[in-house]
Structure 1
Amino acid sequence: MGLAPMAEKEEVEKRYTTLLKRERARQKQSASESASSEGRDEPEFTKITEAYRYILEYEDRKITEAFNQQEYGKYGGMAEKAQKVDHFWRYYKFHTLGAIALIALLIYGINSYIDHREHQKYLASLPPVDVHVSFFGTFMLPEGQKDQTAVNAALLSHFPEWQRVDSTITFVPQDDMNQMAYLQKAAVTLVTEKADVYIMDRSMLQYIGTQGVLMELDDKTDIIKGLDEKRLQKLTVTPGVLDETPGEEHIYAIDLSGSWLDKELPLLKMDLFAGVRVNSENPEKALQFIKTFASAIK
């Protein structure tokens, strides 16, 4: 290329650009000459191009080696492996993270499915539920108590002929500012669950009792006879969209405060108003449940 040894990369590029222009000019000139003269200097320029590419590749290798020495020289004999790991992580980081996340989701899904199957097997091995009790309102488990096992045991202890009582808790605060989101959950639970007995605080008694969810207790004389009038919770069901006529007032719940249930139930609570779901699957046992605790306060 006609350059001094160890010439700078910029000089090499300028020199090659000059030679390239000359070669193009020569090719244009040769186009007007005889065919015997075509390509007379092509082998020489081909060698120049090869030399130019070799010099550029050499310069690139020097830059790469300097970078690798700076980045991975601290690893000594492990530098090459460290470089490979770094390159892999740089180019495949998101692929790797995505694969790890996918594997984690698969493991979680499989474990959840196995746990669900085991729980279903456990429930299938239990005796049928005699009464399902649903707590609505300011009811909470005491600190350190993880489930309703103690609650269910306390309820069942008053019915030796029964085999199983199940319960659920839907917490709804009485504070109006924080109540709306909880009420939405309560509304969904009322529609989807199959409760026999509802135990409510005063706020939820008004909410549930006026929706036509509870059974009328006016004619259940074996339950209400002898009870103080204040314990008989009378409500009027809110009329439906197509029925603008207000309903009549009926007894829909019993105040069980001061009963065995109030004293023995291992729950944090404020009020205890008990009613029976109008379409309970176990209506007789549900009424027996309320009668048992109401009879202790007559």
Structure 2
Amino acid sequence: MSEIEDLKKAYEILGLPEDATREQVENRYFILMKQARAAQSRTEEANDEENRKLDHSEINRAYNLVLGMESGKISTVEKPTKLAHFFHYYRLHVIVGIIIVLVAGYMIKEGIDNRRAAANLPPSSLSVSVFGDFYFADAEILEKNMLELIPDWQRIDTKLVFVPTEIKSQQDMAMQQKSVLMLMTERSELYITDELSFKNLSAQGAFVNLKEFEASHPLNIPADKIRKAKSEDDTEEQPYGIDITGNPIFKNIELNGQHTIIAIRAKEEKWDNTGLLLEKLIQTTP
């Protein structure tokens, strides 16, 4: 059989027209291989025609022949096409994996740099994370504004964790992965969030129930400022946050028009300072 006849036969086996694009060939090959594997796992016998169509070796030979004729390298096409096939169907997994590795490496370096810098700073009275869609927020200005509420404190360890509302780019994906890693590796005493992040983090059980906190540290929160959410362990919504939208601590800080909710993640040994800052925020929120 001539090369032209072999090629025509290969297209017939794949069930494709002779003018099929490379992408169509790749997609069809993937579908046929899935069908072939499924056929092997079934106990009932298929008819001869189906066995012919779903034979692994025949599909592979047709696939390699079509792509080999396309590149003019029939004898050497198998390895490159397998690699191309892998990246074609798993490129998203590869990209995400690379992003996670890069983000993790960046965070390790950032953590080392931060620890070195913190060694020369006064002790921190509390840690606060701004967690949400606050891309233009300035952590330094926020810390300065919070310290004005409690002049005796020298430092509030303030971090900005940008969490995009929608994933529109690889950068957004990287920032989202970073936010997840930071939640796993770092624990601030207080979190200032937007409404979406507040709901998501509450659902994960990240925050302290305000009822539990107020049992030992009363806050006198106005009823209209209490924000409720539901964790996996809750049967109904519980008070986890306090709406501090419009508080003077956000002066000169761009918040993209987002509402700001503060919630507690502090361990009990930090509840005294946590309660002190919350009292000041409640008193100064309009």
Q: What TM-score, normalized to structure 1?
A: 0.50
Mapped pair 1:189 → 2:182: yes
Q: 2:255 aligns with which of 227, 250, 268?
A: 268
- Secondary structure, aligned partner of 1:214: coil
CA–CA separation in structure 2 for the residues paired with 1:213 and 1:153? 26
Q: In the TM superposition, what whole-angstrom CA distance separates every residue of 1:129-159 from its partner, at most 9, and x where no partner exists?
A: 11111011111336xxxx7333321221111
Within a 5 Å distance, the mapping from 1:227-238 to structure 2 comes to 227-229=222-224, 231-238=225-232
- Secondary structure, aligned partner of 2:259: coil
Mapped pair 1:157 → 2:143: no
Indicate the residue corresponding to 1:211 in structure 2: 204
CA–CA separation in structure 1 for the residues paired with 2:116 and 2:161? 25
Q: What TM-score, normalized to structure 2?
A: 0.52
- Secondary structure, aligned partner of 1:125: coil
Q: 1:134 aligns with which of 129, 153, 172?
A: 129
Mapped pair 1:174 → 2:165: yes
Mapped pair 1:284 → 2:272: yes
Assess if the C-alpha contact under 8 Å between 2:245 and 2:259 holds in 1.
yes
CA–CA separation in structure 2 for the residues paired with 1:195 and 1:118? 18
Of structures 1 and 2, the larger Rg is shown by 1
- Secondary structure, aligned partner of 1:218: helix
1:185 deviates by 2.3
Indicate the residue corresponding to 1:5 in structure 2: none
Aligned pair in 2 of structure 1 residues 118, 233: CA closer, same or farther (>3 Å)? Answer: closer
1:252 deviates by 0.5
- Secondary structure, aligned partner of 1:190: helix
| Identity of matched residues, % | 24
Aligned pair in 2 of structure 1 residues 238, 157: CA closer, same or farther (>3 Å)? Answer: same
CA–CA separation in structure 1 for the residues paired with 2:113 and 2:200? 37
Mapped pair 1:294 → 2:276: no
Assess if the C-alpha contact under 8 Å between 1:128 and 1:164 holds in 2.
yes
CA–CA separation in structure 2 for the residues paired with 1:192 and 1:165? 19
CA–CA separation in structure 2 for the residues paired with 1:128 and 1:206? 32
What's the RMSD between the two structures over aligned residues? Answer: 3.1
CA–CA separation in structure 2 for the residues paired with 1:274 and 1:170? 14
1:121 deviates by 5.0
CA–CA separation in structure 2 for the residues paired with 1:285 and 1:172? 27
Aligned pair in 2 of structure 1 residues 281, 175: CA closer, same or farther (>3 Å)? Answer: farther
Q: What amino acid does structure 2 have at the position aligned with 1:228?
A: A
Aligned pair in 2 of structure 1 residues 237, 117: CA closer, same or farther (>3 Å)? Answer: closer
1:207 deviates by 0.9
Q: Where do 5+ consecutive residues of structure 2 fail to align?
A: 1-108
Aligned pair in 2 of structure 1 residues 139, 119: CA closer, same or farther (>3 Å)? Answer: closer
Instruction: State the aligned residue count.
Output: 173
CA–CA separation in structure 2 for the residues paired with 1:223 and 1:259? 20
Q: What amino acid does structure 1 have at the position aligned with 2:243?
A: D
1:277 deviates by 0.3
Q: In the TM superposition, what whole-angstrom CA distance separates every residue of 1:147-206 from its partner, at most 9, and x where no partner exists?
A: 733332122111111111111111112226566654332221111113011000011001
Assess if the C-alpha contact under 8 Å between 2:266 and 2:274 holds in 1.
no
